[in-house]
Structure 1
Amino acid sequence: MKRANTTFTTTLIERKWLSRNAYELRCTRPDGFSFRSGQHISMLVGEDERDYTIVSPESEQELVLLIKELENGKVSKKLAEMELGKKLEIKGPDGYLVERPTQKKRVLVATGTGIAPFASLVANGMEAVVLLHGARCAEELYYRHILTGVIPTYMPCLSGESCREQNGPCYEGYVTGYIEDLLPAGDYDFYLCG
């Protein structure tokens, strides 16, 4: 896919903090804007530009983004403090992490906010043999409550805290450890983000 240079105007509607340093940003979907689940847009804030993956499915009338506020992040900090109702320029969509036809079983592997494209892909109907979501702590398992209901093979992998207090399945360790220890041998298509 070629990088889309089309610029659109969007309006910030809502900001919801999901953890101490990550938030969901909801924006209007500009007229004529279309995308494929798994793609991202560039948010233009002053002279700065940053790519964020669209969390919402293709059919949703708003654009939802999952943003990790970085200590030195020029765009993430500005968006975290920006007044709701503000108009912003976006470019895109762009990106290759989209559903592709296959006869193989799909394994989706995300860490942290890398869950964003998979939330969109799964909401849009993509099937997978397993969705692994790695995080240091349960607070960083964004969209867990939604994904657990949509994809029965959702598996959180916690590398920084115990799974003892978790409701439902949980793997203690990194996503790579789960793949080595528990994923049955087979011919898979892997989708990776994070």
Structure 2
Amino acid sequence: MTREEMVAASRAPVKRAPALLTARIVGRRDLTDDLMLLWLEVPESFSFRPGQYITIGRDGIERPYSIVSAPHELPRVELFIELVPRGKLTPRLWRLGPGDEVTMRPRAKGLFTFDPAYRNQLMVATVTGIAPYVSILRDYLHRGLTGHRFYVLQGASYRDEFGYDDELRELAGRRPDLLTYVPTVSRPQEERNAGWQGQTGRVNTIVEEYIERFGLSPDDTIVYACGHTGMIQDVKARLLPKGWRVKEEHFD
């Protein structure tokens, strides 16, 4: 680097990370030993689009989480979080409760948002991957939008891991013209799933079957895949060669 270049570089503006904000935990509900719903009260300056994520932290460690709530629910933000036993952040979060605080980035990010160009919206999720879909549906209802049909397939190992199955079943029953919800468990023979009478199998392995049942076509359908990388890669391998458009969001 020449002397002139060094001088120019020294005068260039320094990009600084945005100042962190503080969010207060106002609610927590444990679904299982490793799944919880968390409600935060965030500053009034925070905004987001349904499907985006918020980055929160504790002790200097940060991770992004898709937002479950819809924008009209601000200043409360709802999250669906899975414990990573050897992770750096979630064990810290598991020790917190109402009144405790976490840091947060001032802006939501992400492009995993509702695409209104397609009449049919096929949404595939594993466990906490349901979060952005709940946000999109709550917002769609709140704004009184019309003209779209949602099909949500959610996979989990156990029946107590779905998180929002009651809300989605209620909506599907009340608005069958808007939503079809199919939860599936991958370990139906285990005691924890005793009494389960719904769909079984990994969610990625039933996608093509339900596309046929629903009578969907790539021409007017967009596919969203959110959750574990293995599920997303398999859904893409099954659908992309057949002309389907797939949006993805990884939770690993």
Q: Same fold (TM over 0.5)?
A: yes
Structure 2 partner of 1:186? 217
Alpha-carbon separation, structure 2, partners of 1:144 and 1:193: 16
Deviations 1:52-99 (A, max 9, x none): 111111100311111101111221111110243123220130111111
Structure 2 partner of 1:155? 182
- What fraction of aligned residue pairs are identical, expressed as a percent? 28
Which consecutive residues of structure 1, in runs of 5 or more, have no partner in the other structure?
none
Larger RCO of the pair (alpha carbons < 8 Å, separation 6+): 1
Structure 2 partner of 1:85? 99
**SS of structure 2 residue aligned to 1:59:** helix
Which consecutive residues of structure 2, in runs of 5 or more, have no partner in the other structure?
1-16, 142-147, 173-178, 228-252
Alpha-carbon separation, structure 2, partners of 1:140 and 1:49: 24
Counterpart selection for 1:100 from 112, 115, 139: 115
**SS of structure 1 residue aligned to 2:133:** helix
Alpha-carbon separation, structure 2, partners of 1:86 and 1:144: 28
- 1:75-154 to 2 correspondence within 5 Å? 75-91=89-105, 92-125=107-140, 127-151=148-172, 152-154=179-181
- Do the aligned partners of 1:123 and 1:150 also contact (CA within 8 Å) in 2? no
Deviation at 1:164, TM superposition (A): 7.7
Alpha-carbon separation, structure 2, partners of 1:72 and 1:107: 33
Structure 2 partner of 1:166? 196
Matched residue type, 1:174: R
Deviation at 1:115, TM superposition (A): 0.7
Alpha-carbon separation, structure 1, partners of 2:23 and 2:135: 19
Alpha-carbon separation, structure 2, partners of 1:119 and 1:105: 16
Whichever structure has more helix as a proportion of its residues is 2
Deviations 1:130-161 (A, max 9, x none): 10000111011111000112234100011111
Deviations 1:9-55 (A, max 9, x none): 21111111012210011110211111011111111211211111111
Structure 1 residues 164 and 155 mapped into 2: Cα distance closer, same or farther (>3 Å)? farther
Structure 1 residues 99 and 84 mapped into 2: Cα distance closer, same or farther (>3 Å)? same
- Do the aligned partners of 2:69 and 2:77 also contact (CA within 8 Å) in 1? yes
Alpha-carbon separation, structure 2, partners of 1:6 and 1:130: 39
Whichever structure has more strand as a proportion of its residues is 1
**SS of structure 2 residue aligned to 1:100:** coil
Looking at CA atoms only, which structure, 1 or 2, has the larger radius of gyration? 2
**SS of structure 2 residue aligned to 1:183:** helix
Deviation at 1:6, TM superposition (A): 6.1
Per the normalisation by structure 1, the TM-score is 0.89
- Do the aligned partners of 1:41 and 1:54 also contact (CA within 8 Å) in 2? yes
- Do the aligned partners of 1:171 and 1:178 also contact (CA within 8 Å) in 2? no
Per the normalisation by structure 2, the TM-score is 0.69
Deviation at 1:8, TM superposition (A): 2.4
